[in-house]
Structure 1
Amino acid sequence: MNDFPSSVEFHEEGPREGFQMEKTHYPLQQRKILIEMLAEAGLRQIQVGSFVSPKAVPTMSDTAELFAAIDKKASTRYTSLWLNEAGFRRAVATPGVTLDGKLLVYTTDEFCLKNNNCTVQELREKQKKWIALYDNAGVALEQAYIITAFGCNYEGDVAVSKVVDAVRFLEDLCAASKRPLPHIYLADTVGWANPESIKRRIAAVRDAVPAARIGTHLHDTRGLGAANVYAALQMGVDLFDSSVAGLGGCPFAKHANSHGAGNICTEDMVFMCHELGIETGIDLEKLVEAALYAERMIGRPLAGKLMHAGIPKRM
Protein backbone atom coordinates (compact mmCIF):
# COMPACT_ATOMS: atom_id res chain seq x y z
CA MET A 1 0.00 0.00 0.00
CA ASN A 2 1.36 3.41 -1.04
CA ASP A 3 1.43 6.32 1.39
CA PHE A 4 2.81 8.98 -0.95
CA PRO A 5 3.25 12.44 0.57
CA SER A 6 1.33 15.29 -1.09
CA SER A 7 4.53 17.30 -1.48
CA VAL A 8 8.26 16.73 -1.05
CA GLU A 9 11.28 18.92 -0.41
CA PHE A 10 14.56 18.49 -2.27
CA HIS A 11 17.79 19.85 -0.79
CA GLU A 12 20.28 20.43 -3.58
CA GLU A 13 23.84 19.25 -2.88
CA GLY A 14 25.43 19.29 -6.33
CA PRO A 15 27.52 22.46 -5.87
CA ARG A 16 29.18 20.90 -2.83
CA GLU A 17 29.03 17.13 -3.14
CA GLY A 18 29.40 17.19 -6.90
CA PHE A 19 32.40 19.45 -7.19
CA GLN A 20 34.26 18.00 -4.21
CA MET A 21 34.78 14.88 -6.35
CA GLU A 22 36.32 16.67 -9.30
CA LYS A 23 40.06 16.85 -9.88
CA THR A 24 39.58 20.15 -11.69
CA HIS A 25 38.92 23.24 -9.61
CA TYR A 26 36.25 24.89 -11.73
CA PRO A 27 36.09 28.70 -11.90
CA LEU A 28 34.16 30.37 -9.10
CA GLN A 29 32.13 32.39 -11.58
CA GLN A 30 30.82 29.23 -13.26
CA ARG A 31 29.82 27.66 -9.95
CA LYS A 32 28.12 30.93 -8.96
CA ILE A 33 26.02 30.85 -12.14
CA LEU A 34 25.01 27.23 -11.53
CA ILE A 35 23.90 27.99 -7.97
CA GLU A 36 21.88 30.98 -9.14
CA MET A 37 20.22 28.85 -11.85
CA LEU A 38 19.27 26.24 -9.25
CA ALA A 39 17.74 28.89 -7.00
CA GLU A 40 15.84 30.34 -9.97
CA ALA A 41 14.42 26.85 -10.65
CA GLY A 42 12.86 26.85 -7.19
CA LEU A 43 15.31 24.88 -5.05
CA ARG A 44 14.68 26.19 -1.55
CA GLN A 45 17.93 24.88 -0.06
CA ILE A 46 21.30 24.64 -1.82
CA GLN A 47 24.51 23.38 -0.26
CA VAL A 48 27.08 25.76 -1.70
CA GLY A 49 30.30 24.19 -0.44
CA SER A 50 32.14 22.81 2.55
CA PHE A 51 34.47 24.21 5.18
CA VAL A 52 36.97 21.37 5.29
CA SER A 53 40.73 21.01 4.97
CA PRO A 54 41.86 22.46 1.61
CA LYS A 55 44.59 19.82 1.57
CA ALA A 56 42.03 17.01 1.81
CA VAL A 57 39.46 18.59 -0.54
CA PRO A 58 41.20 21.35 -2.55
CA THR A 59 38.15 22.04 -4.73
CA MET A 60 36.38 23.47 -1.67
CA SER A 61 39.19 25.88 -0.75
CA ASP A 62 37.31 28.97 -1.99
CA THR A 63 33.93 28.27 -0.36
CA ALA A 64 33.89 31.56 1.56
CA GLU A 65 34.59 33.52 -1.63
CA LEU A 66 31.81 31.64 -3.44
CA PHE A 67 29.28 32.54 -0.74
CA ALA A 68 30.24 36.19 -1.15
CA ALA A 69 29.82 36.09 -4.93
CA ILE A 70 26.31 34.57 -5.12
CA ASP A 71 23.37 36.86 -5.86
CA LYS A 72 21.09 35.34 -3.24
CA LYS A 73 17.33 34.91 -3.34
CA ALA A 74 15.46 35.59 -0.10
CA SER A 75 13.43 32.40 -0.56
CA THR A 76 16.51 30.12 -0.74
CA ARG A 77 18.70 28.84 2.08
CA TYR A 78 22.41 28.66 1.19
CA THR A 79 24.05 26.07 3.42
CA SER A 80 27.46 24.47 3.91
CA LEU A 81 29.06 21.34 5.31
CA TRP A 82 31.59 21.09 8.13
CA LEU A 83 33.06 18.03 9.82
CA ASN A 84 34.68 19.56 12.89
CA GLU A 85 34.74 22.61 15.16
CA ALA A 86 37.23 24.48 12.98
CA GLY A 87 34.99 24.08 9.95
CA PHE A 88 31.95 25.27 11.90
CA ARG A 89 33.75 28.38 13.09
CA ARG A 90 34.75 29.18 9.49
CA ALA A 91 31.10 28.84 8.47
CA VAL A 92 29.99 31.14 11.30
CA ALA A 93 32.52 33.75 10.18
CA THR A 94 31.36 33.67 6.54
CA PRO A 95 28.61 36.16 5.62
CA GLY A 96 25.66 34.68 3.75
CA VAL A 97 25.85 31.16 5.15
CA THR A 98 22.57 29.73 6.43
CA LEU A 99 23.73 28.01 9.62
CA ASP A 100 21.79 24.76 9.95
CA GLY A 101 23.04 22.78 12.93
CA LYS A 102 23.70 19.14 12.14
CA LEU A 103 24.91 16.01 13.90
CA LEU A 104 26.77 13.06 12.38
CA VAL A 105 26.51 9.48 13.63
CA TYR A 106 28.28 6.59 11.91
CA THR A 107 27.49 2.89 11.97
CA THR A 108 31.00 1.57 11.22
CA ASP A 109 34.37 2.48 12.70
CA GLU A 110 36.36 2.02 9.50
CA PHE A 111 34.36 4.51 7.49
CA CYS A 112 34.25 6.94 10.41
CA LEU A 113 38.04 6.78 10.63
CA LYS A 114 38.35 7.47 6.89
CA ASN A 115 35.92 10.39 6.91
CA ASN A 116 36.37 11.92 10.39
CA ASN A 117 39.63 10.47 11.66
CA CYS A 118 38.03 8.96 14.76
CA THR A 119 35.96 5.96 15.84
CA VAL A 120 32.17 5.84 16.08
CA GLN A 121 32.25 6.28 19.84
CA GLU A 122 34.80 9.07 19.71
CA LEU A 123 32.63 10.97 17.24
CA ARG A 124 29.59 10.48 19.47
CA GLU A 125 31.47 12.19 22.27
CA LYS A 126 32.31 15.04 19.91
CA GLN A 127 28.64 15.49 19.06
CA LYS A 128 28.02 16.57 22.65
CA LYS A 129 30.50 19.39 22.10
CA TRP A 130 28.78 20.30 18.82
CA ILE A 131 25.54 20.80 20.74
CA ALA A 132 27.34 23.28 23.00
CA LEU A 133 28.83 25.03 19.95
CA TYR A 134 25.39 25.46 18.45
CA ASP A 135 24.02 26.76 21.74
CA ASN A 136 26.79 29.34 22.03
CA ALA A 137 26.31 30.45 18.41
CA GLY A 138 22.53 30.53 18.63
CA VAL A 139 22.21 27.95 15.85
CA ALA A 140 19.18 25.67 15.65
CA LEU A 141 19.77 21.93 15.47
CA GLU A 142 18.00 20.89 12.27
CA GLN A 143 19.53 17.68 10.91
CA ALA A 144 21.10 14.45 12.11
CA TYR A 145 22.72 12.13 9.59
CA ILE A 146 23.17 8.41 10.16
CA ILE A 147 26.10 7.69 7.86
CA THR A 148 26.44 4.29 6.13
CA ALA A 149 22.94 3.40 7.31
CA PHE A 150 22.63 0.60 4.75
CA GLY A 151 26.11 -0.83 4.29
CA CYS A 152 29.82 -0.06 4.30
CA ASN A 153 32.45 -0.83 1.67
CA TYR A 154 34.95 -1.49 4.45
CA GLU A 155 32.89 -3.48 6.97
CA GLY A 156 30.04 -4.90 4.87
CA ASP A 157 26.35 -5.13 5.79
CA VAL A 158 24.98 -2.83 8.46
CA ALA A 159 22.26 -4.31 10.67
CA VAL A 160 19.01 -2.42 11.23
CA SER A 161 19.77 -2.63 14.96
CA LYS A 162 22.83 -0.39 14.43
CA VAL A 163 20.63 2.23 12.81
CA VAL A 164 18.16 2.05 15.70
CA ASP A 165 21.06 2.32 18.16
CA ALA A 166 22.20 5.51 16.39
CA VAL A 167 18.67 6.91 16.61
CA ARG A 168 18.49 6.11 20.33
CA PHE A 169 21.81 7.90 20.86
CA LEU A 170 20.45 10.98 19.08
CA GLU A 171 17.24 10.84 21.10
CA ASP A 172 19.15 10.66 24.40
CA LEU A 173 21.59 13.39 23.36
CA CYS A 174 18.79 15.80 22.43
CA ALA A 175 16.84 15.01 25.59
CA ALA A 176 19.91 15.68 27.76
CA SER A 177 20.48 19.03 26.06
CA LYS A 178 16.77 19.88 26.07
CA ARG A 179 16.73 20.09 22.29
CA PRO A 180 13.93 18.80 20.07
CA LEU A 181 14.90 15.85 17.89
CA PRO A 182 16.09 17.12 14.47
CA HIS A 183 15.18 15.66 11.10
CA ILE A 184 16.82 12.23 10.84
CA TYR A 185 18.50 11.44 7.54
CA LEU A 186 19.32 7.88 6.56
CA ALA A 187 22.44 8.17 4.42
CA ASP A 188 23.29 5.54 1.81
CA THR A 189 26.82 6.90 1.65
CA VAL A 190 28.28 4.17 -0.57
CA GLY A 191 25.27 2.90 -2.50
CA TRP A 192 24.26 -0.28 -0.65
CA ALA A 193 20.53 0.40 -0.29
CA ASN A 194 17.75 -1.43 -2.10
CA PRO A 195 13.99 -0.74 -1.92
CA GLU A 196 13.33 -3.35 0.78
CA SER A 197 16.21 -2.16 2.98
CA ILE A 198 14.89 1.38 2.57
CA LYS A 199 11.47 0.33 3.84
CA ARG A 200 12.87 -1.74 6.73
CA ARG A 201 15.02 1.06 8.06
CA ILE A 202 12.36 3.73 7.70
CA ALA A 203 9.88 1.49 9.53
CA ALA A 204 12.43 0.81 12.28
CA VAL A 205 13.19 4.50 12.78
CA ARG A 206 9.48 5.32 12.85
CA ASP A 207 8.93 2.66 15.50
CA ALA A 208 11.80 4.07 17.58
CA VAL A 209 10.89 7.78 17.25
CA PRO A 210 7.38 8.12 15.78
CA ALA A 211 7.41 11.93 15.78
CA ALA A 212 10.67 12.35 13.85
CA ARG A 213 10.68 13.67 10.31
CA ILE A 214 12.75 11.28 8.20
CA GLY A 215 14.85 12.23 5.20
CA THR A 216 17.20 10.29 2.95
CA HIS A 217 20.58 10.96 1.42
CA LEU A 218 20.83 8.42 -1.39
CA HIS A 219 23.41 7.57 -4.02
CA ASP A 220 22.91 5.89 -7.39
CA THR A 221 26.15 3.94 -7.27
CA ARG A 222 24.61 0.65 -8.36
CA GLY A 223 21.65 1.98 -10.33
CA LEU A 224 18.98 1.68 -7.63
CA GLY A 225 18.66 5.37 -6.80
CA ALA A 226 15.24 5.95 -8.39
CA ALA A 227 13.85 2.66 -7.06
CA ASN A 228 15.04 3.61 -3.57
CA VAL A 229 13.42 7.04 -3.78
CA TYR A 230 10.17 5.41 -4.90
CA ALA A 231 10.30 3.04 -1.93
CA ALA A 232 10.90 5.97 0.43
CA LEU A 233 7.98 7.85 -1.12
CA GLN A 234 5.79 4.78 -0.54
CA MET A 235 6.73 5.06 3.14
CA GLY A 236 5.69 8.72 3.22
CA VAL A 237 9.18 10.26 3.24
CA ASP A 238 9.04 13.87 2.06
CA LEU A 239 12.64 15.07 2.43
CA PHE A 240 15.47 14.17 0.03
CA ASP A 241 19.04 15.29 -0.59
CA SER A 242 19.89 15.23 -4.29
CA SER A 243 22.37 16.60 -6.83
CA VAL A 244 21.73 18.29 -10.14
CA ALA A 245 22.64 16.04 -13.10
CA GLY A 246 23.55 13.26 -10.66
CA LEU A 247 26.81 14.87 -9.58
CA GLY A 248 28.52 13.77 -6.41
CA GLY A 249 29.84 11.04 -4.21
CA CYS A 250 32.18 10.68 -1.26
CA PRO A 251 35.94 11.21 -1.79
CA PHE A 252 36.76 8.83 1.07
CA ALA A 253 34.58 5.89 -0.01
CA LYS A 254 36.21 3.47 -2.42
CA HIS A 255 34.00 2.51 -5.39
CA ALA A 256 31.26 4.94 -4.28
CA ASN A 257 31.26 6.61 -7.70
CA SER A 258 31.70 3.65 -10.03
CA HIS A 259 31.00 4.53 -13.67
CA GLY A 260 30.24 8.13 -12.82
CA ALA A 261 27.23 7.47 -10.60
CA GLY A 262 26.93 9.95 -7.79
CA ASN A 263 23.97 11.18 -5.79
CA ILE A 264 20.40 10.71 -6.90
CA CYS A 265 19.73 13.13 -9.73
CA THR A 266 17.59 16.12 -8.71
CA GLU A 267 15.79 16.69 -12.01
CA ASP A 268 15.10 12.98 -12.55
CA MET A 269 13.59 12.60 -9.07
CA VAL A 270 11.57 15.82 -9.43
CA PHE A 271 10.22 14.46 -12.74
CA MET A 272 9.22 11.20 -11.04
CA CYS A 273 7.43 13.10 -8.28
CA HIS A 274 5.55 15.21 -10.80
CA GLU A 275 4.53 12.08 -12.72
CA LEU A 276 3.16 10.67 -9.45
CA GLY A 277 1.20 13.85 -8.75
CA ILE A 278 3.50 14.94 -5.89
CA GLU A 279 4.21 18.66 -5.59
CA THR A 280 7.82 19.91 -5.40
CA GLY A 281 7.58 23.66 -6.00
CA ILE A 282 10.28 23.30 -8.67
CA ASP A 283 10.24 24.54 -12.27
CA LEU A 284 11.42 21.41 -14.08
CA GLU A 285 12.36 23.16 -17.33
CA LYS A 286 14.61 25.60 -15.51
CA LEU A 287 16.11 22.74 -13.51
CA VAL A 288 16.97 20.84 -16.71
CA GLU A 289 18.62 24.00 -18.04
CA ALA A 290 20.78 24.08 -14.89
CA ALA A 291 21.69 20.40 -15.36
CA LEU A 292 22.72 21.02 -18.98
CA TYR A 293 24.80 24.00 -17.85
CA ALA A 294 26.53 21.77 -15.27
CA GLU A 295 27.32 19.24 -18.01
CA ARG A 296 28.81 21.89 -20.29
CA MET A 297 30.80 23.18 -17.37
CA ILE A 298 32.19 19.76 -16.42
CA GLY A 299 32.90 18.92 -20.05
CA ARG A 300 31.71 15.31 -20.14
CA PRO A 301 28.33 13.50 -20.23
CA LEU A 302 26.73 13.43 -16.78
CA ALA A 303 24.47 10.79 -15.27
CA GLY A 304 21.11 12.59 -15.48
CA LYS A 305 18.53 10.94 -17.75
CA LEU A 306 15.89 13.63 -18.18
CA MET A 307 18.42 16.24 -19.25
CA HIS A 308 19.28 14.04 -22.25
CA ALA A 309 15.90 12.52 -23.07
CA GLY A 310 13.91 15.71 -22.58
CA ILE A 311 10.65 16.40 -20.78
CA PRO A 312 7.76 14.56 -22.50
CA LYS A 313 5.49 16.82 -24.54
CA ARG A 314 1.95 16.01 -23.40
CA MET A 315 -0.75 16.07 -26.09
Structure 2
Amino acid sequence: MSPGDEHETSGGYGGTGQTRTRYPQGTGGDIYGGARRGRSSSSKSLVTVVAVVVLLIAAIAFANRGDGTSSSNDNTTSSGSKPDAASTAASGTKPVETKTGGIPSGFAHTEQGAQSAAANYSVSLGSTGMFQKEIRHSLVNSLYTSAAASKLTGPMDQAYSADFLSKLGLDANGNAPTGSTFVSRVIPVGTTVQRYSDNDAKVAVWYVGLIGMSGQTSTDPVTTSWKTWTFDLQWSNGDWKIVTDSQKDGPAPVPGDDTAATSDEISKAIDEYGGFTYAR
Protein backbone atom coordinates (compact mmCIF):
# COMPACT_ATOMS: atom_id res chain seq x y z
CA MET A 1 0.00 0.00 0.00
CA SER A 2 2.86 1.95 -0.07
CA PRO A 3 2.38 4.25 -2.54
CA GLY A 4 -3.31 2.08 -7.24
CA ASP A 5 -5.57 3.86 -9.07
CA GLU A 6 -9.19 4.65 -8.68
CA HIS A 7 -9.74 4.87 -12.39
CA GLU A 8 -6.99 2.54 -13.52
CA THR A 9 -5.84 -0.87 -12.43
CA SER A 10 -2.14 -0.10 -12.33
CA GLY A 11 0.30 2.73 -11.74
CA GLY A 12 0.56 3.02 -7.99
CA TYR A 13 2.65 5.27 -5.82
CA GLY A 14 5.83 4.17 -7.56
CA GLY A 15 4.17 5.32 -10.77
CA THR A 16 5.44 5.38 -14.29
CA GLY A 17 4.87 9.06 -15.11
CA GLN A 18 7.69 10.22 -17.37
CA THR A 19 9.77 13.11 -16.03
CA ARG A 20 12.24 15.17 -18.02
CA THR A 21 15.35 15.41 -15.86
CA ARG A 22 18.74 17.01 -16.44
CA TYR A 23 21.51 14.86 -15.00
CA PRO A 24 24.90 16.14 -13.83
CA GLN A 25 27.99 15.48 -15.89
CA GLY A 26 31.20 13.90 -14.76
CA THR A 27 29.84 11.77 -11.93
CA GLY A 28 31.56 8.63 -13.04
CA GLY A 29 29.70 5.43 -12.35
CA ASP A 30 26.96 6.99 -10.22
CA ILE A 31 23.61 5.78 -11.48
CA TYR A 32 22.30 9.32 -10.86
CA GLY A 33 24.92 10.93 -13.13
CA GLY A 34 25.67 10.98 -16.83
CA ALA A 35 23.23 10.22 -19.61
CA ARG A 36 20.01 8.72 -18.35
CA ARG A 37 19.51 5.07 -19.17
CA GLY A 38 16.21 3.37 -19.78
CA ARG A 39 14.51 1.99 -16.68
CA SER A 40 15.49 -1.61 -16.09
CA SER A 41 13.16 -4.58 -15.92
CA SER A 42 13.71 -4.45 -12.16
CA SER A 43 12.30 -0.91 -12.15
CA LYS A 44 9.29 -2.01 -14.15
CA SER A 45 8.75 -4.83 -11.69
CA LEU A 46 8.90 -2.34 -8.82
CA VAL A 47 6.18 -0.21 -10.41
CA THR A 48 3.96 -3.17 -11.20
CA VAL A 49 4.27 -4.89 -7.86
CA VAL A 50 3.82 -1.73 -5.80
CA ALA A 51 0.66 -1.01 -7.80
CA VAL A 52 -0.60 -4.51 -7.00
CA VAL A 53 -0.01 -3.92 -3.29
CA VAL A 54 -1.97 -0.67 -3.37
CA LEU A 55 -4.78 -2.41 -5.22
CA LEU A 56 -4.96 -5.01 -2.46
CA ILE A 57 -5.25 -2.30 0.13
CA ALA A 58 -7.90 -0.45 -1.86
CA ALA A 59 -9.89 -3.53 -2.92
CA ILE A 60 -13.02 -2.49 -1.08
CA ALA A 61 -12.70 1.05 -2.44
CA PHE A 62 -12.62 -0.19 -6.02
CA ALA A 63 -15.82 -2.13 -5.47
CA ASN A 64 -17.61 0.82 -3.87
CA ARG A 65 -15.95 3.87 -5.33
CA GLY A 66 -18.08 6.92 -5.96
CA ASP A 67 -17.97 9.37 -8.82
CA GLY A 68 -15.54 11.66 -7.01
CA THR A 69 -17.89 14.62 -7.24
CA SER A 70 -16.95 17.26 -4.73
CA SER A 71 -19.59 18.64 -2.40
CA SER A 72 -17.37 20.62 -0.06
CA ASN A 73 -17.57 24.38 0.11
CA ASP A 74 -13.77 24.40 0.08
CA ASN A 75 -13.91 23.27 -3.55
CA THR A 76 -16.21 26.01 -4.78
CA THR A 77 -14.99 28.74 -7.07
CA SER A 78 -15.97 32.36 -7.52
CA SER A 79 -15.74 34.67 -10.50
CA GLY A 80 -15.41 31.89 -13.02
CA SER A 81 -12.09 30.08 -12.82
CA LYS A 82 -10.61 31.96 -9.85
CA PRO A 83 -10.62 29.76 -6.70
CA ASP A 84 -11.78 31.00 -3.33
CA ALA A 85 -8.96 31.82 -0.94
CA ALA A 86 -10.27 29.18 1.48
CA SER A 87 -9.46 26.45 -1.02
CA THR A 88 -5.74 27.09 -0.75
CA ALA A 89 -5.14 28.99 2.48
CA ALA A 90 -4.00 27.10 5.56
CA SER A 91 -6.55 27.01 8.36
CA GLY A 92 -4.10 27.88 11.11
CA THR A 93 -5.30 24.92 13.14
CA LYS A 94 -2.40 23.45 15.10
CA PRO A 95 -1.31 19.87 14.34
CA VAL A 96 -2.26 17.21 16.85
CA GLU A 97 0.21 16.75 19.68
CA THR A 98 -0.67 13.15 20.55
CA LYS A 99 0.72 10.06 18.90
CA THR A 100 -0.14 6.38 19.07
CA GLY A 101 2.82 4.14 18.26
CA GLY A 102 4.59 7.11 16.70
CA ILE A 103 1.58 7.89 14.47
CA PRO A 104 -0.31 11.20 14.88
CA SER A 105 -3.71 10.59 16.48
CA GLY A 106 -6.57 12.35 18.18
CA PHE A 107 -7.68 14.44 15.21
CA ALA A 108 -10.53 16.92 15.60
CA HIS A 109 -14.07 15.77 14.92
CA THR A 110 -14.40 18.35 12.13
CA GLU A 111 -13.82 18.69 8.38
CA GLN A 112 -10.38 20.11 9.10
CA GLY A 113 -9.66 17.21 11.43
CA ALA A 114 -10.62 14.72 8.72
CA GLN A 115 -8.31 16.45 6.24
CA SER A 116 -5.44 16.47 8.73
CA ALA A 117 -6.00 12.77 9.42
CA ALA A 118 -6.02 11.86 5.72
CA ALA A 119 -2.82 13.83 5.05
CA ASN A 120 -0.97 12.20 7.95
CA TYR A 121 -2.28 8.74 7.13
CA SER A 122 -1.03 9.03 3.54
CA VAL A 123 2.43 9.84 4.88
CA SER A 124 2.43 6.82 7.21
CA LEU A 125 1.10 4.42 4.58
CA GLY A 126 3.61 5.69 2.03
CA SER A 127 6.59 5.14 4.31
CA THR A 128 9.32 2.50 4.25
CA GLY A 129 7.76 0.97 7.36
CA MET A 130 5.12 -0.62 5.16
CA PHE A 131 7.81 -2.92 3.78
CA GLN A 132 8.56 -4.39 7.23
CA LYS A 133 5.99 -6.82 8.63
CA GLU A 134 5.82 -5.71 12.24
CA ILE A 135 5.60 -2.02 11.40
CA ARG A 136 3.11 -2.69 8.60
CA HIS A 137 0.79 -4.57 10.97
CA SER A 138 1.00 -1.72 13.46
CA LEU A 139 0.18 0.88 10.82
CA VAL A 140 -2.76 -1.01 9.39
CA ASN A 141 -4.22 -1.82 12.81
CA SER A 142 -3.81 1.78 13.94
CA LEU A 143 -5.10 3.61 10.88
CA TYR A 144 -7.90 1.38 9.57
CA THR A 145 -11.14 0.34 11.20
CA SER A 146 -10.87 -3.07 12.85
CA ALA A 147 -13.09 -4.61 10.15
CA ALA A 148 -10.98 -3.18 7.32
CA ALA A 149 -7.68 -4.12 9.01
CA SER A 150 -8.75 -7.74 9.48
CA LYS A 151 -9.46 -8.03 5.75
CA LEU A 152 -6.20 -6.40 4.67
CA THR A 153 -3.57 -7.98 6.90
CA GLY A 154 -3.47 -11.45 5.30
CA PRO A 155 -3.47 -10.35 1.64
CA MET A 156 -0.86 -7.70 2.38
CA ASP A 157 1.46 -10.19 4.06
CA GLN A 158 1.20 -12.38 0.98
CA ALA A 159 1.90 -9.42 -1.28
CA TYR A 160 4.95 -8.32 0.71
CA SER A 161 6.63 -11.66 0.10
CA ALA A 162 10.39 -12.20 0.06
CA ASP A 163 10.22 -12.39 -3.74
CA PHE A 164 8.40 -9.05 -3.92
CA LEU A 165 10.87 -7.38 -1.58
CA SER A 166 13.83 -8.74 -3.52
CA LYS A 167 12.51 -7.06 -6.67
CA LEU A 168 12.79 -3.78 -4.82
CA GLY A 169 16.35 -4.59 -3.79
CA LEU A 170 15.33 -5.37 -0.18
CA ASP A 171 16.01 -8.46 1.89
CA ALA A 172 13.26 -10.69 3.31
CA ASN A 173 12.85 -8.35 6.29
CA GLY A 174 12.47 -5.24 4.15
CA ASN A 175 15.98 -3.91 4.73
CA ALA A 176 18.12 -2.24 2.08
CA PRO A 177 21.62 -3.54 1.26
CA THR A 178 24.55 -2.11 3.18
CA GLY A 179 25.55 1.19 1.63
CA SER A 180 22.14 1.79 0.03
CA THR A 181 19.06 3.68 1.18
CA PHE A 182 15.55 2.59 0.23
CA VAL A 183 13.29 5.59 -0.22
CA SER A 184 9.50 5.59 0.01
CA ARG A 185 7.85 8.86 0.97
CA VAL A 186 4.57 10.68 0.47
CA ILE A 187 4.56 14.48 0.70
CA PRO A 188 1.04 15.97 0.74
CA VAL A 189 0.53 19.10 -1.34
CA GLY A 190 -3.10 19.70 -0.43
CA THR A 191 -6.37 18.11 0.68
CA THR A 192 -10.04 18.51 -0.15
CA VAL A 193 -13.24 17.23 1.43
CA GLN A 194 -15.51 15.48 -1.04
CA ARG A 195 -18.10 14.43 1.52
CA TYR A 196 -18.57 15.06 5.23
CA SER A 197 -20.91 14.15 8.08
CA ASP A 198 -20.46 13.59 11.80
CA ASN A 199 -19.93 9.87 11.19
CA ASP A 200 -17.93 9.70 7.98
CA ALA A 201 -15.93 11.72 5.50
CA LYS A 202 -14.35 11.34 2.09
CA VAL A 203 -11.07 13.23 1.75
CA ALA A 204 -8.69 13.39 -1.21
CA VAL A 205 -4.97 14.06 -0.71
CA TRP A 206 -2.92 15.41 -3.61
CA TYR A 207 0.70 14.42 -3.11
CA VAL A 208 4.11 13.94 -4.64
CA GLY A 209 5.75 10.59 -3.95
CA LEU A 210 9.37 9.50 -3.82
CA ILE A 211 10.37 5.88 -4.38
CA GLY A 212 13.49 4.00 -5.37
CA MET A 213 16.86 2.82 -4.10
CA SER A 214 19.65 5.30 -3.51
CA GLY A 215 23.10 3.75 -3.76
CA GLN A 216 26.15 3.48 -5.98
CA THR A 217 25.03 0.11 -7.36
CA SER A 218 21.32 0.91 -7.64
CA THR A 219 19.58 0.39 -10.97
CA ASP A 220 16.35 1.94 -9.64
CA PRO A 221 17.21 5.55 -8.72
CA VAL A 222 14.74 7.53 -6.65
CA THR A 223 12.03 9.06 -8.82
CA THR A 224 8.99 11.24 -8.22
CA SER A 225 5.34 10.70 -9.07
CA TRP A 226 2.21 12.80 -8.59
CA LYS A 227 -0.92 11.11 -7.28
CA THR A 228 -4.25 11.70 -5.60
CA TRP A 229 -5.04 9.39 -2.68
CA THR A 230 -8.70 9.30 -1.62
CA PHE A 231 -9.74 8.06 1.81
CA ASP A 232 -13.18 7.05 3.05
CA LEU A 233 -12.98 7.78 6.77
CA GLN A 234 -15.21 6.84 9.68
CA TRP A 235 -15.36 8.44 13.12
CA SER A 236 -14.58 5.54 15.44
CA ASN A 237 -13.50 5.45 19.10
CA GLY A 238 -12.68 9.13 19.20
CA ASP A 239 -10.65 9.40 16.00
CA TRP A 240 -10.86 9.15 12.23
CA LYS A 241 -10.19 5.67 10.81
CA ILE A 242 -9.85 4.47 7.22
CA VAL A 243 -12.63 2.29 5.83
CA THR A 244 -11.39 2.19 2.23
CA ASP A 245 -8.85 4.05 0.10
CA SER A 246 -7.90 4.35 -3.56
CA GLN A 247 -5.45 6.21 -5.77
CA LYS A 248 -5.23 7.72 -9.22
CA ASP A 249 -2.50 9.47 -11.21
CA GLY A 250 -1.98 13.22 -11.12
CA PRO A 251 -2.56 16.02 -11.44
CA ALA A 252 1.11 16.36 -12.36
CA PRO A 253 2.74 19.74 -13.08
CA VAL A 254 5.05 20.28 -16.03
CA PRO A 255 8.48 18.93 -14.95
CA GLY A 256 11.25 21.46 -14.58
CA ASP A 257 14.90 21.35 -15.55
CA ASP A 258 16.30 20.66 -12.10
CA THR A 259 19.64 18.92 -12.06
CA ALA A 260 19.30 15.46 -10.57
CA ALA A 261 21.21 14.89 -7.34
CA THR A 262 23.78 12.15 -6.91
CA SER A 263 22.92 9.01 -4.96
CA ASP A 264 25.01 10.22 -2.03
CA GLU A 265 23.13 13.52 -1.92
CA ILE A 266 19.77 11.73 -1.98
CA SER A 267 20.80 9.34 0.79
CA LYS A 268 22.08 12.22 2.92
CA ALA A 269 18.89 14.23 2.39
CA ILE A 270 16.70 11.28 3.36
CA ASP A 271 18.71 10.81 6.55
CA GLU A 272 18.81 14.50 7.48
CA TYR A 273 15.34 15.72 6.56
CA GLY A 274 12.51 14.29 8.64
CA GLY A 275 8.81 14.44 7.92
CA PHE A 276 6.08 16.69 9.28
CA THR A 277 2.81 16.38 11.13
CA TYR A 278 0.28 17.86 8.72
CA ALA A 279 -2.72 20.01 9.62
CA ARG A 280 -5.30 21.68 7.41
TM-score computed with the length of structure 2 as normaliser: 0.24
TM-score computed with the length of structure 1 as normaliser: 0.22
